[in-house]
């Protein structure tokens, strides 16, 4: 059955943390995710990257699929082709609802590589805190016009353009066009 709305990741993290009698400080230490980031996630002020979710779920002792909507996201592999139907692809949505990221990469690779199908409504903004040292992001615009900032630098991309930029500094992706924008984003972390 198709999922009609993205999972409430913040609420699920908060419930799991409370069920394990962990404070924000304790989960921050156990997961390596800052207390302020945890607080923002739980209040749905920001959405975590898959790598952050991976750290949190490992610290909570659960499978990442439980946060993203269940353990039946992928059919058992019985051939050389693992099929993930469109309605089974997990999604993360920004707090304002203007940005949707469909998680395309396998969850087993999130400690190094993540890739997303990104849709941004007009004025949609994905602002990110710095990721792990050495992280780079690679964004290719499929439709629309997108502004990328990484640290103090900024570039404007149009359909077909690709930007490669540091993800270990504050960075953002913003739709500056007059209609929806669509892109593919790949995040690479060396560790």
Residue 170 lies in a domain: yes
Shared domain check, 58 and 112: no
pLDDT > 70: what percent of the chain? Answer: 89
Shared domain check, 185 and 105: yes
Indicate if the pLDDT at residue 144 is higher than 80. yes
Shared domain check, 179 and 146: yes
CB atoms within 10 A of CB 14: 19
Q: pLDDT tier at 78 (50, 70, 90 boundaries)?
A: low
Indicate if the pLDDT at residue 154 is higher than 90. yes
Q: How far is CA 3 from CA 42, 90, 101, in A?
A: 21, 9, 14
pLDDT tens, 7-59? 678 888 888 888 888 888 898 888 888 888 888 888 877 777 777 887 888 88
10 Å CB burial of residue 138 (0-12, 13-18, 19+) is: middle
Shared domain check, 188 and 99: yes
Indicate if the pLDDT at residue 123 is higher than 80. yes
CB atoms within 10 A of CB 129: 15
Q: Give the span between the Cα atoms of 106 and 91, in whole angstroms.
A: 13
Q: How far is CA 65 from CA 7, 62, 88, 148, in A?
A: 11, 8, 11, 30
The total of structural domains in the chain comes to 2
Q: Tell me the three state secondary structure of residue 54.
A: helix
User: How confident is the model at residue 142, as a pLDDT?
Assistant: 98
Shared domain check, 60 and 17: yes
Q: Which of 103, 91, 180, 101 is nearest to 143 (CA)?
A: 180
Please say which residue of 55, 70, 85 terminates a domain.
70
Residue 75 lies in a domain: no
pLDDT tens, 155-184? 999 999 999 999 999 999 999 999 999 999
Shared domain check, 107 and 64: no
Instruction: Quote the distance between the C-alpha of residue 168 and its chain's center.
Output: 15
CB atoms within 10 A of CB 157: 20
CB atoms within 10 A of CB 40: 17
Shared domain check, 62 and 2: yes
DSSP character string of 132-170: STT-EEEEEEEESEEEEEETTEEEEEETT-EEEEESSS-
Residue 105 lies in a domain: yes
Q: Give the span between the Cα atoms of 120 and 98, in whole angstroms.
A: 6
For the chain, give percent helix, strand, coil, nearest 5: 25, 30, 45
Residue 183 lies in a domain: yes
Mean pLDDT of 115-133: 91
């Amino acid at each position: 059955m198709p999922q009609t709305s993205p999972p409430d990741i913040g609420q699920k993290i908060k419930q799991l943390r409370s069920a394990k009698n962990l404070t924000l400080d304790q989960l921050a230490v156990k997961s390596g995710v800052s207390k302020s980031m945890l607080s923002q996630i739980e209040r749905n002020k920001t959405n975590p990257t898959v790598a952050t979710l991976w750290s949190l779920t490992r610290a909570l002792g659960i499978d990442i699929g439980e946060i993203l909507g269940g353990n039946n996201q992928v059919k058992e592999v019985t051939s050389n082709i693992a099929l993930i139907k469109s309605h089974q692809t997990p999604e993360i949505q920004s707090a304002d609802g203007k940005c949707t990221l469909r998680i395309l990469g396998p969850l087993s690779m999130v400690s190094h590589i993540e890739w997303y199908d990104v849709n941004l409504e007009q004025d949609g903004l994905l602002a990110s805190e710095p990721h792990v040292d050495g992280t780079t992001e690679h964004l290719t615009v499929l439709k629309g016009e997108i502004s990328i900032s990484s640290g103090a630098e900024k570039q404007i991309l149009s359909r077909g353009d690709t930007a490669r930029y540091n993800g270990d500094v504050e960075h953002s992706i913003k739709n500056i066009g007059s209609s929806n924008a669509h892109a593919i984003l790949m995040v690479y972390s060396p560790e």
